[in-house]
Chains A and B, each alone.
Chain A
Amino acid sequence: PPKGSFHDEL
């Protein structure tokens, strides 16, 4: 994901 996003979080 782009550096700024937190999509890798729950």
Chain B
Amino acid sequence: MNLFRLLGDMTHLLSIVVLLLKIRTVKSCAGISLKTQELYVIVFLTRYLDLFTKYYSVYNTAMKLVFLGTSIGIVWYMRYHKVVKQTYSKDEDTFKHYFLILLSIILALLIHRAFDVIEVLWTFSLYLEAVAILPQLVLLQKSRNIDTLTGDYVFLLGAYRALYILNWVYRFLMENHKFRWIPWISGLVQTALYADFFYYYIKSWKNREKLKLPA
């Protein structure tokens, strides 16, 4: 475990805390894409298949349970909680996210490091995570005003993968880890998709003005 990965995991955890804070305190999920949340549940389910078969550390197992539990909890809140589900921007969350799942499955079947169930599903989860934010970004562009917590959530979610890329550079240099195309490219694509958002988020933060994405 290196500092970049720890910072990355903490940033990821913080993004989920911010989202839960927003949903629980404001009792609203306005501006949050249910589709992105559902994609994240699939990402965690297919990535953490080895949860009960492989033990790396207490930290690793605990964090997997937290990520699985919170992502499923958030989808439950947005789908079934009597108050929260009314605030879901249903007719704006229109991204065809099933295509993202299909594309990721096809790509994982074509490009993977080993053709076994765990590896292919793990690869699938990397490809899917890279594009999982798209429905959320599209929804943000449609939202007239983006509330602070939603902006902070997306920023932290994007920042965590950028930190993971630094972690891979560190592991490559210091732990003479081999270069791994699949996580690297997926992570770079994922972070690149946030570039536009990062620009407007930082600009709004510097100018002390409301976050607004160009339509």
Contact B56 A8 (CB under 8 A): yes
Query: Which A residues are CB-close (under 8 A) to B50?
Result: 7
Contact A3 B178 (CB under 8 A): yes
Query: Which A residues are CB-close (under 8 A) to B167?
Result: 9
Query: Which B residues are CB-close (under 8 A) to A10?
Result: 9, 12, 60, 63-64, 67
Closest-CB distance, A9 to chain B (whole angstroms)? 7
Query: How long is the Cα–Cα vector from A6 to B2 in the complex, in angstroms?
Result: 13
Closest-CB distance, A5 to chain B (whole angstroms)? 7
Residue B206 lies at the interface, judged by CB distance under 8 Å to chain A? no
User: Interface residue count for A (Cβ, 8 Å)?
Assistant: 9
Query: Which B residues are CB-close (under 8 A) to A3?
Result: 177-178
- Of residues 154 through 206 on chain B, the ones whose CB sits less than 8 Å from some CB of chain A are 164, 167-168, 177-178, 180, 183
Query: Which B residues are CB-close (under 8 A) to A7?
Result: 50, 54, 122
- Of residues 18 through 71 on chain B, the ones whose CB sits less than 8 Å from some CB of chain A are 50, 54, 56, 60, 63-64, 67
Contact A8 B60 (CB under 8 A): yes
Residue B212 lies at the interface, judged by CB distance under 8 Å to chain A? no
Closest-CB distance, B55 to chain A (whole angstroms)? 10
Chain A residue nearest in CB terms to B167: A9
Contact B180 A6 (CB under 8 A): yes
Chain B residue nearest in CB terms to A1: B54
Contact B177 A4 (CB under 8 A): yes
Query: How long is the Cα–Cα vector from A7 to B50 in the complex, in angstroms?
Result: 9
The chain A residues found within 8 Å of chain B, CB to CB, are 1, 3-10
The chain B residues found within 8 Å of chain A, CB to CB, are 5, 9, 12, 50, 54, 56, 60, 63-64, 67, 113, 122, 164, 167-168, 177-178, 180, 183
Top 3 closest A-B pairs, CB basis? Answer: A4-B178, A8-B56, A6-B183
10 A–B contacts, CB within 8 A, in A order: A3-B177, A4-B113, A4-B177, A4-B180, A5-B113, A9-B5, A9-B164, A10-B12, A10-B60, A10-B63
